Structure 1
Amino acid sequence: MKVLGMISGTSHDGIDVAVVDFAAHDGVLHGTVLHAASTPYPDELRDRLMSALPPESLTLAEACALDTLIGEAFARAAADAIDRAGGADLICSHGQTVYHWTEGRRVLGTLQFGQPAWIAERTGVPVVADVRIRDIAAGGQGAPLVALMDTMLLADLPGRPAALNLGGIANMTVLRPAAGAPIAYDTGPANALIDAAAIRATGGRLRFDMDGALAAAGTVHPALLGRLLAEPYYALAAPKTTGKELFHAEYLDKMLGDHPGISDVDVAATVTALTAETVAAEVRRYGVDTLVASGGGCANPTLMAMLAERLVGVRLTTSAEFGAPTETKEAIAFALIGWQTAHGLPGNAPSCTGAEGGRILGAIVPGAGPLRLPQPLAAPPAALRLSGARQ
């Protein structure tokens, strides 16, 4: 079954797609990645989206417009991916998260833009969408949903491995904590504050720290780093989730208000160190011996070097070693969730999200013809093996 997974993450920079041909044999799900790519949002759309995100306010008129415009952008990206992959049987679209409603460790709701009807209409293929809310309704965090893929993809690794995604927010899946079942949670910001520092330093000319150059030119400011590390979120127990509702440009400006006069490059170095410090603390907490990284942060050599410096003795690698390109791993994860939904299988990992149990995720928008799904499987595959990734 060919499934197209789609997502725009917390960096809000574009749409990641992956078409995966899945087949289950003897308890193992084999996936051939037929196509994987990233499509940037048009500048005007990204500017409108960024202007609507917290802590900014949003009118219902603009919410409606963005839901449509992002849906149309996803539809174009889907049509292109399907053409390049030679077809698809199902699409799973995460859409674009614009708000994740949290109070402490409790999640009360979530909102993703990118109306899936536009995708179904453009491609004629059924679309699984709105995948987070069922986990939340069952008492979960609705995140990190990538934990299902992490536990399957790394199932054969010995010891105490973990997966790390460095998007706007960093999340980690620990496969074998001492307490037993896998756990997953957001450790804190990954690129969210690094991007904010780059925009601040360049007056908007750069939207991210290209090649980690700003941070590499600066020096970590100990007092500012200490202030950032005092954020109460880090002390919350897992499972927990966060986002740009908390870690945004105004948050950074507030922290800098207590430490005036720090150079732009030192700010960039310090927030990059913040990501490395908070991730490393969680790796040490759970005695992780292999850390498999993915996400846009893997392209930042300064961040990766800071992380390696803090994790002496830990094997640091990337998801590409396991067949999942670092930039599009989450798109593959949502292709997997779509496959699970189509086969009547849970798409969440309850011990990771905190849900009361496994749940079949999403709502399905039919394609051009009658909706025909495969026969449900009696048991989910225990492992995932990927091959064939190409751009």
Structure 2
Amino acid sequence: MRVIGLMSGTSYDAIDAAAADLSLVGDSLVLEPLGLVSEPYDDVLREALGAALPPGTTSMAEVCRLDTRVGQAFAAAAVRADRELCDGRAELVASHGQTVYHWAEEGKVFGTLQLGQPAWIAEATGLPVVADFRPRDIAAGGQGAPLVSLVDLLWLRGRPGTPVALNIGGIANLTAPDGTAFDTGPGCALIDAAARGFSGGRLAYDVDGALAGRGGVHEPLLMRLLEEPYYALPAPKTTGKELFHLGHLRDALTGFGTLPAEDVVATLTALTARTVADAVCAAGATEVIASGGGTRNPVLMAMVGQCLPGVALRTSDELGLPAAAKEAYAFAVLGFLTAHGLPGTVPSATGARHARVLGSITPGREGLRLPSPAGGRPERLVLG
């Protein structure tokens, strides 16, 4: 089955559309990557999303407008991916949507909201669309994240030692081979917020780690940031920009006077590296396979490496799965599993009572013609 996976992370800078040929061969799921296209949000939509996300406030009217406009943007990305990567022969779209709120209190998740109405994608492509992946896991008592943990476990099964998968997006998350998975804390969320704030909106992020590279880590600020109670919570746990936003940084800066922008960004980069490394060490990792936008920040990756002496640090590109596209490929896999009636969660990773088939399905132009249910979930993921 040829599937397009659509993903926009907590940085809400662009929609990634990855296409893959997926097939079940014995106990293996074979994934042949077909490529990635990325569609940036236009400035107006990106600004509207930023204004609506925590700690901002919004209205139901604006939520309706965003749901429609994000859905239309996802539809345009899917149409482009089908045309450029699939020669117009895609069979299914799996859309993560745009997370705008993850309702978590005292270690428990009560709900989640992803915008991007899938009807627009189905109408534009003519294909069935699997969307709204996270709520079913939450309804089963889980955190609704990190859902990529299933793909990580299937993909890394059989690797020597103790390999850990690490994704550094707006939020960083980790999957260990024992099935433990959780958000470690901010990936690039606070770094991005600081870059935008200090540049008056001119910078969306710290390009190539340039700001951090010119600065020095302010140890008292770092110690204050590390006092955030989230880091001490046991797994499974999830977080988001509901916690790690510009207001969180402003609170931490209280009493320090005016610090150079470069030092603040360097300190936030060190925060991400330290919290990621603490989680990796707790998992007893011998190898870290990293993906996500944070891997393009050389200063961040160098800091992570310095915090992990003796642990091999490499990107998923080295294993054949492009770091920039991994999450979009992961949702293509989850959509494929849903279409075949197979569960897409690991209870030990999300904390759910049971593994569940995820998502809701919007029929395509020809109605809904799903493949026959498969006998059992695959045991490993193989790149073709």
Aligned residue for 1:13?
13
Aligned residue for 2:297?
300
Structure 2 residue matching 1:244: 3-state secondary structure: coil
Aligned residue for 1:49?
49
Q: CA deviation at 1:321?
A: 2.0
Q: CA deviation at 1:88?
A: 0.9
2:210 counterpart of 1:213: yes
Spell out structure 1 runs of 4+ moving beyond 6 A: none
Q: CA deviation at 1:104?
A: 1.4
Q: Which amino acid aligns with 2:126?
A: G
Distance 1:330 1:286 in 2: 22
Q: Which amino acid aligns with 2:366?
A: G
Distance 2:360 2:198 in 1: 42
Distance 2:295 2:210 in 1: 14
Aligned residue for 1:183?
180
Q: CA deviation at 1:202?
A: 1.3
Structure 2 residue matching 1:133: 3-state secondary structure: helix
Structure 2 residue matching 1:258: 3-state secondary structure: coil
Aligned residue for 1:244?
241
Distance 2:255 2:129 in 1: 48
Q: CA deviation at 1:235?
A: 0.5
Distance 2:255 2:130 in 1: 46
Q: CA deviation at 1:380?
A: 1.1
2:259 counterpart of 1:258: no
Aligned residue for 1:107?
109
Q: Which amino acid aligns with 1:314?
A: V
Distance 1:344 1:292 in 2: 29
Does the 8 Å CA contact 1:38/1:328 hold for their aligned counterparts? no
Distance 1:258 1:127 in 2: 50
Distance 2:60 2:29 in 1: 42
Deviation per residue, 1:11-45 (Å, 9 max, x gap)? 11110111110111121111111121221100110
Q: CA deviation at 1:261?
A: 1.9
Aligned residue for 2:172?
170
Structure 1 residue matching 2:253: 3-state secondary structure: helix
2:78 counterpart of 1:78: yes
Structure 1 residue matching 2:58: 3-state secondary structure: coil
Distance 2:204 2:24 in 1: 41
Deviation per residue, 1:91-148 (Å, 9 max, x gap)? 1101000000001110000000000000000000000011100000000000000001
Aligned residue for 1:311?
308
Aligned residue for 1:359?
356
Does the 8 Å CA contact 1:153/1:322 hold for their aligned counterparts? no
Matching of residues 34-45 of structure 1 within 5 Å: 34-45=34-45
Aligned residue for 1:152?
154
Distance 2:39 2:358 in 1: 25
Aligned residue for 1:280?
277
RMSD: 0.8
Structure 1 residue matching 2:306: 3-state secondary structure: helix
Using the aligned pairs only, state the percent identity. Answer: 56
Out of 94, 102, 111, the position equivalent to 1:92 is: 94
Distance 1:64 1:123 in 2: 22
Q: Which amino acid aligns with 1:265?
A: E
Distance 1:110 1:384 in 2: 28
Q: Which amino acid aligns with 1:171?
A: N
Structure 2 residue matching 1:233: 3-state secondary structure: helix
Structure 1 residue matching 2:83: 3-state secondary structure: helix
Aligned residues: 382
Q: Which amino acid aligns with 1:107?
A: V
Structure 2 residue matching 1:18: 3-state secondary structure: strand
Relative to the length of structure 1, the TM-score reads: 0.97
Does the 8 Å CA contact 1:160/1:175 hold for their aligned counterparts? yes
Q: Which amino acid aligns with 1:48?
A: A
Structure 2 residue matching 1:37: 3-state secondary structure: strand
Does the 8 Å CA contact 1:135/1:359 hold for their aligned counterparts? yes
Q: Which amino acid aligns with 2:45?
A: L
Relative to the length of structure 2, the TM-score reads: 0.98
Distance 2:239 2:315 in 1: 23
Distance 1:20 1:127 in 2: 15
Structure 1 residue matching 2:376: 3-state secondary structure: coil
Q: Which runs of 5+ in 1 are unaligned?
A: 177-181
Aligned residue for 1:179?
none
Aligned residue for 2:163?
161
Structure 1 residue matching 2:159: 3-state secondary structure: coil
